[in-house]
Amino acid sequence: MGWLLGCDSIIVLDLTIHYSSINNLNVSSCDSYEWDGVSYYSSGSYTNLYSDINGCDSTVILNLIINNSSINNINAISCDSYSWDGIMYDSTGLYTHIYNGSNGCDSTVVLNLIIHNSSINDIIISACDSYSWDGITYNTSGTYINLYSDINGCDSVVRLELTMNNSSTNNISVIACDSYDWDGVTYHLSGLYNLQCIIVLQIILV
């Protein structure tokens, strides 16, 4: 053999070098991000090591930005109804709207709404000749309305249904000796007496 005879032996090395790789993955996500079966909830750099088709290391660096969704509460008190985002609400309750925040994540707004209802009350009155209500004297029958504000700041409407009866005056003249008994009352002096504002009793004692 050649090498036993002191001849050259040439060996040719055909060498291929494959390099490991490093790759960056830049991600923005809302609230959390799942990568290779792991959930991440905060911003940061995270590294996973793989083996590429050549059997070399392939390092992937995840540059993660987590933007958090937001929840905001609005407390509102209104009379009869409340308009929010073009919708009219007429009952107490919790109502939710979801918006797109400036960071691209959900912005949830919860409306805590209290509705107080206005009230209407009727007063039915029969009166003689006139009736005074809240500083105003009424002389004719009719329906009269006053508007108040209740303890909740809402309208309280009071309707007065007024029936006006005109009084009449009747004169009774009596001549009696010493005293006169009428309707349970004994009169001892002559004079004019108004009874129930509608009867004038004239008594002459002799």
**pLDDT in the model for residue 166:** 80
Would you say how long the chain is, in residues? 206
In this prediction, residue 197 carries a pLDDT of 47
**Structure confidence at residue 196 (pLDDT):** 55
The terminus-to-terminus CA distance of the chain in angstroms comes to 182
Asked if residues 197 and 167 have their Cβ atoms less than 8 Å apart, the reply is yes
At residue 54, the pLDDT reads 87
**E strand or H helix at 137, and its extent?**
strand 136-138
156 burial type by CB count under 10 A (0-12 exposed, 13-18 middle, 19+ buried) = middle
Return the pLDDT at 32: 96
Q: List b or e across 62-92, with b for residues whose CB sees 16 or more CB atoms inside 10 angstroms.
A: bebebeeeeeeeeeeebeeebeeeeeebeee
Beta-ladder partners of 183: none
State which residues of the chain have pLDDT below 70. 1-5, 169, 194-206
pLDDT of residue 5: 65
| The predicted structure's pLDDT at residue 206 | 46
What pLDDT is attached to residue 184?
A: 83
Burial of 48 (0-12, 13-18, 19+ CB in 10 A): middle
Tens of pLDDT, residues 158-179: 999 999 888 776 777 888 888 8
pTM of the model: 0.59
24 vs 40: CA distance, rounded Å:
17
- The pLDDT value given to residue 173: 83
Cβ atoms within 10 Å of 95's Cβ, excluding its own:
17
pLDDT number for residue 204: 54
